[in-house]
C-alpha cells in the first residue's frame, strides 16, 4: 500500500481545537498558515509580542494542565481572524483577534470558564509571523495512523489521532516507519520536507479531545511497551508546494 497524506490540521489558537483543512500551500521555513498563531497566556507571562521568541508552554493555557479546553469546539475565519467558541452545542463567544475588543471578549470568556486553573487574568497573545509552538522551530508535526493502530491494540480501545495534535496525518506506511524518516526528506505532492526529530509526548495526550477526560496515560504506555515516550515526528518545509489529502508520500 502506498503511503499517502490522510488529513491536514492546524491549531489557530494554541491548546484549542483543530481546524481540518483540505489543501494548503507549504512555504519553506514556515509552519502551516495560522498554525499556533495565537495563544492564551495563563496570567502574567513571558511572551513579548514586540520581541517574540519561544517560551515554555506552561506560560499558556494548554491541554497538559487544562483538560477543560477539550470540551470547547472552536472555528477560525482566516479573512477576519475571528475565533468562535462553542460549548455543549451553543455558541458562547466570538471575537476578532486582531482587535483589542475582540481579544478582550475571548479573554473574558476564559477568565470565567477556566477560573479555577488561572494564575492571573488571561491574555490573548500574537506576533506576526511567529508560531507559538511547543518547539522553537517553525515546523509541521506528522503522525502515522498505523502507529495509532498499534497503540489502540495495546490499550484495547480506540484512540483519536487528534490526541497527538498533528498537522499531517499519514496512512499506508508501516507502524513506526516515521521514526526511520528522521534526517530524511519526504516528498508530498510537489512539496518537500526534512524530518528532524521524534516527538516526545507529554500528559496532553492523556486527554480525550472529544470529552476532556483524562482516560489514558499515553507516555507511560509508550515507555512500558516500546521503551520510549515518542510518538510522531517534526519536519521542516524545504521546498514549496500545494498538498492535499490523498497526495502520495515518498521518502527521498
CA distance to 3, 37, 100, 220, per residue, from 113 (Å): 42, 22, 20, 30
DSSP string, 49-74: TTS-----GGGB--TTT-GGGGGEEE
C-alpha cell at 140: 509541521
Residue-by-residue pLDDT tens, the chain, 252 positions:
689 999 999 999 999 999 999 999 999 999 999 999 999 999 988 899 899 999 889 999 998 899 899 999 999 999 999 999 999 899 999 999 999 999 999 999 999 999 999 999 999 999 999 999 999 999 999 999 999 999 999 999 999 999 999 999 999 999 999 999 999 999 999 999 999 999 999 989 999 988 888 999 999 999 999 999 999 999 999 999 999 999 999 999
Domains, the chain, ordered by start = 4-30+135-251 (2.40.33.20), 38-126 (no CATH)
Total Cβ atoms within 10 A of residue 114: 17
CA atoms within 13 A on the CB side of 86: 9
C-alpha cell at 137: 522551530
Amino acid at each position: 500500500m502506498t503511503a499517502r497524506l490522510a488529513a491536514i490540521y492546524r491549531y489557530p489558537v494554541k491548546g484549542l481545537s483543530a481546524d481540518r483543512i483540505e489543501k494548503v500551500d507549504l512555504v519553506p521555513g514556515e509552519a502551516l498558515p495560522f498554525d499556533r498563531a495565537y495563544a492564551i497566556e495563563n496570567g502574567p507571562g513571558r511572551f513579548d509580542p514586540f520581541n517574540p521568541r519561544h517560551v515554555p508552554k506552561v506560560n499558556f493555557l494548554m491541554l497538559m494542565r487544562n483538560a477543560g479546553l477539550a470540551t470547547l469546539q472552536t472555528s477560525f475565519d482566516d479573512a477576519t481572524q475571528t475565533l468562535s467558541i462553542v460549548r455543549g452545542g451553543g455558541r458562547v463567544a466570538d471575537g476578532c483577534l486582531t482587535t483589542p475588543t475582540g481579544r478582550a471578549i475571548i479573554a473574558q470568556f476564559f477568565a470565567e470558564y477556566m477560573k479555577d486553573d488561572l494564575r492571573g487574568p488571561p491574555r490573548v497573545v500574537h506576533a506576526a509571523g511567529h508560531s507559538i509552538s511547543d518547539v522553537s522551530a517553525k515546523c509541521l508535526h506528522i503522525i502515522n495512523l498505523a502507529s495509532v493502530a498499534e497503540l489502540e491494540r495495546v490499550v484495547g480501545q480506540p484512540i483519536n489521532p487528534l490526541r497527538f495534535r498533528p498537522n499531517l496525518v499519514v496512512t499506508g506506511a508501516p507502524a513506526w516507519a516515521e521514526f526511520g524518516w528522521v534526517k530524511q526528506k519526504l516528498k508530498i505532492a510537489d512539496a518537500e520536507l526534512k524530518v528532524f526529530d521524534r516527538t516526545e509526548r507529554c500528559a496532553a495526550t492523556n486527554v480525550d479531545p472529544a470529552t476532556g477526560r483524562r482516560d489514558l496515560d499515553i507516555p507511560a504506555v509508550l515507555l512500558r511497551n516500546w521503551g520510549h515516550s515518542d510518538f510522531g515526528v517534526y519536519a521542516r518545509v524545504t521546498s514549496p508546494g500545494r498538498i492535499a489529502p490523498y497526495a502520495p508520500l515518498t521518502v527521498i
